[in-house]
Amino acid sequence: MESTSNQVIDSDESERYLQVAGYDENDLADDDLSKNIELYTGEVDKILEQSFESLPSVGDAEEPYIGLEFKSRDDAREFYVAMDEKDRRIRELTIELNNERQRFKRRCAAYQEQLNMVFKFVEEHTDHLSGRVKDIVDNIRELEDEQPENSDCKCV
């Protein structure tokens, strides 16, 4: 009798079970980024530091200022081209960083959705099992209540 009750599954429960059972870790893990967000945040910081170190610097002046003088037009042009290159690289890195941030947000949202689905599934089955346990406890109490009435049976 017990084996037949174990085989009976509601269609809604079986669909949810198949969704959870069919869940594959690799669906959300495109690469190793999902393993440790802090690790990759540190790597992004390292990339930024390396990029800033590799930026060209012209002389002692990093930024233009009023009254900045150059020896020749070529020096001035070289200075401002280097400034433009630095600004372009900063824009590229900013875009890359924003894209990474958006990927992390999407991945976190996907993980949250999966967790909510699993928690809901567990909660539904826990409620179902709690109801069955309650029924069993009630049945045992009924049997215990009937036992004193049948005093000729001595059970431990």
Residue with tokens 């824009």: 91
Tell me what the pLDDT averaged over the chain comes to. 74
> Does residue 132 or residue 13 have the better pLDDT?
132
pLDDT at 153 over 90: no
- Evaluate whether residue 28 is within a structural domain: no
- Evaluate whether residue 1 is within a structural domain: no
Q: Looking at 23-27, 44-48, 62-66, 74-78, which range is the least confident one?
A: 23-27
Q: Which pLDDT does position 17 carry in this prediction?
A: 47
- Evaluate whether residue 100 is within a structural domain: yes
Instruction: Convert the pLDDT of each residue in 49-96 to its tens digit.
Output: 666 565 544 444 467 888 888 899 999 899 989 888 888 989 999 999
Based on its alpha-carbon atoms, the radius of gyration of the chain, rounded to whole angstroms, reads 34
- At 128, is the pLDDT very low, low, confident or very high (cuts 50, 70, 90)? confident
- The domain of 93 spans 35-149
- Evaluate whether residue 119 is within a structural domain: yes
- Evaluate whether residue 22 is within a structural domain: no
- Evaluate whether residue 29 is within a structural domain: no
pLDDT at 10 over 70: no
Domains identified in the chain, total number: 1
Mean pLDDT of 120-132: 89
- Evaluate whether residue 19 is within a structural domain: no
b vs e for 5-39, b when ≥16 Cβ sit within 10 Å of the residue's Cβ?
eeeeeeeeeeebeeeeeeeeeeeeeeeeebeeeee
Q: Which pLDDT does position 4 carry in this prediction?
A: 42
Q: Which pLDDT does position 26 carry in this prediction?
A: 47
Q: Which pLDDT does position 67 carry in this prediction?
A: 85
> Does residue 68 or residue 12 have the better pLDDT?
68
- Evaluate whether residue 130 is within a structural domain: yes
